[in-house]
Structure 1
């Protein structure tokens, strides 16, 4: 396909994601979810018919307005299969109707008997009399309604609520506004799934879904989203849509795009909270810096960085992601990135506990059912085995890997090309098991050597029995050398894929295990010379290879000169200035050999050269973990806000307010930051609600009331009426 079309469609997807983020942050969460559902159905599951764009939209309108489950909902089939099923039901109904008509008799022309005509006339007279009686009853009921209305108004006045007063009447107690904001946050957490128009049907399993008028407000009509639908045909754009959808709802998946890409930058700038993947990197750095134990600093870090998402909301979102990604796997068959995302979503939807304390892998049942439906998907075997290893079930993981590798030679040639990736995953699991002292860790390095020797020598995989002989190791190294040389021509043309990256990593890992890490590093460095520097900068495959390279160097940092390792890390940050893993490596190595001021200087230099949210977050987390002064931390916030792009980052403002109110305990400074924040980012409902929750001690009831009015003027979606809170208070009292 023409690269210009691919770039155009990728740009369309990024613009669409910006729209969804805006609607979500403004409080219209059901609309954002409906937009995702509609676009995925429209782009990925379109019926294979020759349709004009107008006909396609009319057909999609019929699907959207039906009771059919949409992508992510339980029982969803996809637009195309739903249409096939509807057509089958229609054909069946037509056959039944035609057979029923054939059984009826023909018209004879006979008239009804006179007695029946009289009965009908009498029935009509009775209906007329009944209508008159009903009119009298309606008049009486209207009078009673008026009386009840007067009684209701009197009761409201007795409760201290004037129903005839204007809606923006002043609330005297700031605690009322705090409870209102907390209720608003809770409803936002529960009400993010749209309901269907017919009968207000909701396919969400959330028990908090209420019936009645509130459900009708959550109906997203076709007219609400028809203007934003577009068709995309390139594989890259469609995969980008699905991947960013998974990331939007907090799903975890392997890196699929370069950290220098525009989609990565736009996502980071639009964050309202720190995603789990980035939070894990920050937590890892924090743990490295606080090995000696600083409980107070640890609490402060949690107060600022932790996400406040409701557990039930996260569980329902993971179920939503699992359903949607499972359906998308039919469009992207044997895609290991999506398959891993499905299994992780299944784990997170079933458990919220620590993975180390769970003996049975939560995704085991789902993985087995997927493997039964497609026994040739060896990459799914590999993904599943890795999840078993994460939960400490190394023996179970070995059985799965052995089964997949033993059967791969009998599979089609297209499947056999995945052998390098499968061998690498297995070897990495064994190396990690040996490093962390897991089950059978003493022989893990020998097992890894055996696995990689089979791949390098090109021999059929056999179960591990003993250490490979010197001759087998020599054949494997020679085989890897020949295979890597064959990649040179394709890499120079830019044809880089997962399997070629896995082959080079496997060759380097074998050298590290058998001879030494220096030989492994040389293989990786030679691979980098096969591509131009600019291509390295924009390829996520080569970024993954560089991360593998850095992990190998960090494993052996005690055996090499600090200046050399430092040079590699700094050079990597010049190429990938937004890479969280590289900043982690910088701190992990730097804190051992360099002073805190030296690391601060590097953070400042990198941020000045290439301002990014990731660099700033690591600088902030580093200073907080090291017990930085309030002046230094405030300076970090102000430096970020001096940048034109970061000034519009909701996350930066929310962290600033949280720091001033919860850690520095300076309510007046938090108040100033809040008013600056809502001026810079007025579209973020969550930012406004932070002011209600965190600043109720310094904001008056009148100010909070005025803030709510401004939120309405800004057309933010408010779900709770303040009178609901007042009535609750009176009922409780």
Structure 2
């Protein structure tokens, strides 16, 4: 046997699916004497089923080798004592693997002397089954492989197929394994025949058609020729077109078909097909989202004004569909199953995506104005039955009047403002009538609106802000050529002529760096729209600069009228409110499931890492890097990208959010999510120069004023008590909780149903105090509080520890209450009160019995709660389970909790808590490679930005992890959706520029990034700041020109920086 060329040792798996195996050698084959005959195997192995040939047998097989698909189950590699059934290997020397002891390459690491005695001359000349020659023949499509199939088993089962349980099967299985030799071409024919049969038998089964189309992708992956791949794509398109013809309302089939069109057609043809399908399905928010994302990512066609028109079409089409459906459905709606609710929530998502788009392109005043207009139009509309046109005319009067809008000082809401405006009109009319009576005679027509003190004299003037320079950008990418990574082609796609001479007056790259910093600073300051009489209202955003700049910040009614729509469902209105608060960085509890389209849109559109994700990333980083040096942990993701939008740099944001939430509480009364948001916002955005006592007093005064208005809102008391506990006022917090629990008996039945939430908050507060102060009294208090809930007794303040009998009564009471709620769980009618009850029972068991008993309480509900993947309450229960795991890490057994963790990650793949628990447990109780494999499987199954961030947090700061990090980035960017993630590109650029310090790679990543996400102004400015010393002055100047052509809002002229530098010098 000739030594192979590479100097590495081939390692072989224990069971190879298909490989050639020679007859096994007997133990005597160890002998150095080659003439020693082979001895037969022991007698007990001769009759072993499945062994085709034995060494030393008189009867020789027909071939010198045979194809082994399963391996020998009695082999040492599979747990046997007879180790000569497979080829033998020797241990690998790592020094030899790196070639340190060899001056030449090509030595084989297999023990030739001991293996040659089992080979004849033909084998020595032809090579073993793993040789290059045999590997080439095995890759041939005509090479037949041995496969094992179970008899009478179809490839895919119907949806209504119900398998028998394992206990109902007979003890002796009748399943017969069948051996089949087929080549890859045979498999293609067989599976195509099976898919054709299934598609004829079940033509309306979407899964069959999608599996058929996915099989075409598998076929195309084995075809090296481009023409053959194109032919397979055509076949896939024809399959999907037939599927769509039979299932015209299937959004999943339509998206798969349109994605296939994208692999074949150019941009113009693809967009035409999209428009044709949207014409047939104008009421699909999913299709509109994908279409808008496609338009935003087409660099050659991208312009802010064009994308804005596409959003107009989407909003108006969905709004018309909602109006039509609302007229058809006049019955009382079950909010969880109504198609109208789903359609309105989808419409809200598209509107929020529009605001994100305007914000990220630099038109921040327009984004805020859109939010203000829609919130007033849909949440504060007057209770009048009006047509759409009449409602918009009435709203135009409000918008142009100069009255305060939501978030501004003195804002009342459109409905309340209209009532006061009507009252002032009547008073003015009475005054005019009295004057006419006194003077007599006719004095001409009079318009009462002209006398309104709140009406602006300039309301009828047209103040069109000049957002662009008026020049039409040319088409920068006329051809639909495949993306390339070389910098020259990327520059040409961006419209930058490398060979042209620079005529810019900027002579220093530092000037462009200062320009980018000034641009970021102005973006953070100028986010609040001005009124036409912009000097009259100041919301922490005092006007400065030239008059033209100020006029461009005025948002007219014509700028927002095409995006206005009405909402009739409570769920859609609540979603709009929560996404509004989250948009401006307010601290608000998660309002929707992480599997919902709203949450996925939020994650994909991020430019910075949000605080809720940073919290979980920090927990993982602390566990992984606790043994790392401080230098290796110097750079973190948040330090590279900056804080969340630099909230402290936005003047007036705290007041804006506080005013808005307080006004929204009138629309959503006794909503503890809003109440908690306004208290946290008040405390978080208090100026840092003030002491903590002033911050506490501000939130305390606000809580007291809210309680004066509604003294029966005991959940607000609970939030107030938790706020006091966070500030260290434990005794005050206990008094507040005791007062709230004592007052629950006098409230209505609907309010008393929310009592478990209050008990859980109180107990968690005491446990936190016990952990921080090592106080056993707080632990006894927590047990007592939960025992009152379990025993269903009237609450009284804590006196002393409870007895064992009271513990038993409380445990039994919890079991009975949970048992009575199981019927509601099975129907999917789980609410926050039920989740609080289960969490309280789990917490009680963990304190009185142990952590495993507490975990079992929640695990018993998983079979019912995991069936509802889009239910917020079910996911809250899963999050609480993770919280308990993280509190008891040192007491856990991985094999005990890992099945539940795996199911949770599979069910909620976009929840940061899932990955936080997975990485923490795996790092403590497993090896790093297993954890990497787990993350890779998750990213392949459900690719998302969340998965990538946690995979990066695990690798960040580790020595020798550069290749792994590059692989993570590139694999994520290969996904069509993740390629549109600005956060992913910013992380990649920061990593190359600031950690690896590879200027050429960072330059290439930057050009790829702005080509994939041209709408992100922050991404463009990252290039000016991080690559100022890498890009030439000509390239920097051209980049700014391209930004103007794409209609990104640029607030700073480069000549301002040059003039400032000249003045300073």
- Per the shorter chain, which TM-score range? 0.7 to 0.9
Residue of structure 2 aligned with 1:601, choices 921, 933, 950: 933
Deviation at 1:170, TM superposition (A): 4.3
CA distance in 2, matches of 1:506, 1:353: 40
Partner of 1:513: 847
Partner of 1:285: 620
Partner of 2:166: none
Partner of 2:582: 247
SS of corresponding position for 1:697: coil
Say if 1:360 and 1:342 are closer, same or farther in 2 by CA, change over 3 A: closer
Q: Does 1:325 align with 2:661?
A: yes
Structure 2 gap segments, 5+ residues each: 1-332, 443-501
After superposition, where does 1:438-449 map in structure 2 within 5 Å?
Answer: 441-449=775-783
Alpha carbons 2:641, 2:986 under 8 Å: kept: no
Deviation track 1:302-358 (CA, whole Å, cap 9, x = no partner) reads: 432432734533563333222211111111111111111111111122044899999
Deviation track 1:3-59 (CA, whole Å, cap 9, x = no partner) reads: 100100011011111111111111111111111111111110000011111110001
Partner of 1:481: 815
Say if 1:692 and 1:473 are closer, same or farther in 2 by CA, change over 3 A: same
Alpha carbons 2:742, 2:796 under 8 Å: kept: yes
Deviation at 1:660, TM superposition (A): 1.3
Say if 1:337 and 1:621 are closer, same or farther in 2 by CA, change over 3 A: same
Partner of 1:81: 416
Deviation track 1:397-447 (CA, whole Å, cap 9, x = no partner) reads: 211111111111112222211111000110111112212226xx2211111
Q: Does 1:404 align with 2:740?
A: yes
SS of corresponding position for 1:534: coil
CA distance in 2, matches of 1:627, 1:387: 42
After superposition, where does 1:317-356 map in structure 2 within 5 Å?
Answer: 317-352=653-688
Say if 1:433 and 1:199 are closer, same or farther in 2 by CA, change over 3 A: closer
Of 310-319 and 463-472, the range deviating more from structure 2: 310-319
Alpha carbons 1:456, 1:480 under 8 Å: kept: yes
Of 2-11 and 283-292, the range deviating more from structure 2: 283-292
Q: Does 1:551 align with 2:883?
A: yes
Partner of 1:92: 427
Of 43-52 and 210-219, the range deviating more from structure 2: 210-219
Alpha carbons 1:171, 1:702 under 8 Å: kept: no
Alpha carbons 2:670, 2:713 under 8 Å: kept: yes
Partner of 2:1035: 703
Alpha carbons 2:737, 2:762 under 8 Å: kept: yes
Of 24-33 and 307-316, the range deviating more from structure 2: 307-316
Deviation track 1:537-584 (CA, whole Å, cap 9, x = no partner) reads: 111111110121222233334334222223322221111111111211
Say if 1:590 and 1:633 are closer, same or farther in 2 by CA, change over 3 A: same
| TM-score normalised by length of structure 2 | 0.61
Alpha carbons 1:557, 1:565 under 8 Å: kept: no
CA distance in 1, matches of 2:692, 2:713: 28
Say if 1:521 and 1:628 are closer, same or farther in 2 by CA, change over 3 A: same
Say if 1:587 and 1:362 are closer, same or farther in 2 by CA, change over 3 A: farther
CA distance in 1, matches of 2:357, 2:959: 36
CA distance in 1, matches of 2:844, 2:955: 39
Deviation track 1:676-720 (CA, whole Å, cap 9, x = no partner) reads: 111111111111111111111011111111111100110111111
Q: Does 1:617 align with 2:949?
A: yes
Q: Does 1:9 align with 2:341?
A: no
CA distance in 1, matches of 2:533, 2:892: 68
SS of corresponding position for 2:634: helix
Q: Does 1:413 align with 2:768?
A: no
Partner of 1:256: 591
Of 379-388 and 301-310, the range deviating more from structure 2: 301-310
Alpha carbons 1:190, 1:208 under 8 Å: kept: no
Partner of 1:363: 699
CA distance in 1, matches of 2:966, 2:889: 34
Partner of 1:188: 523
Deviation track 1:610-646 (CA, whole Å, cap 9, x = no partner) reads: 1111010000111104345222222221111111111
CA distance in 2, matches of 1:87, 1:340: 35
Partner of 2:856: 522
| TM-score normalised by length of structure 1 | 0.88
Deviation at 1:472, TM superposition (A): 2.4
Deviation at 1:293, TM superposition (A): 5.5
SS of corresponding position for 1:263: helix
Alpha carbons 2:596, 2:870 under 8 Å: kept: yes
Alpha carbons 2:989, 2:1005 under 8 Å: kept: yes
Alpha carbons 1:426, 1:448 under 8 Å: kept: yes
Partner of 1:313: 649
Deviation track 1:462-517 (CA, whole Å, cap 9, x = no partner) reads: 11110122332222222222221221222222211111111111122112222233
Alpha carbons 1:172, 1:702 under 8 Å: kept: no
Partner of 2:353: 18
CA distance in 1, matches of 2:1030, 2:644: 22
Larger radius of gyration: 2
Residue of structure 2 aligned with 1:465, choices 784, 799, 803: 799
Alpha carbons 2:376, 2:414 under 8 Å: kept: yes
Alpha carbons 1:206, 1:316 under 8 Å: kept: yes
CA distance in 1, matches of 2:1023, 2:690: 33
Q: Does 1:501 align with 2:835?
A: yes
Alpha carbons 1:577, 1:606 under 8 Å: kept: yes
CA distance in 2, matches of 1:268, 1:545: 22
Partner of 1:164: none
Partner of 2:999: 667
CA distance in 2, matches of 1:341, 1:698: 44
CA RMSD, 1 decimal? 2.2
Q: Does 1:639 align with 2:962?
A: no
Q: Does 1:213 align with 2:559?
A: no
Partner of 1:123: none
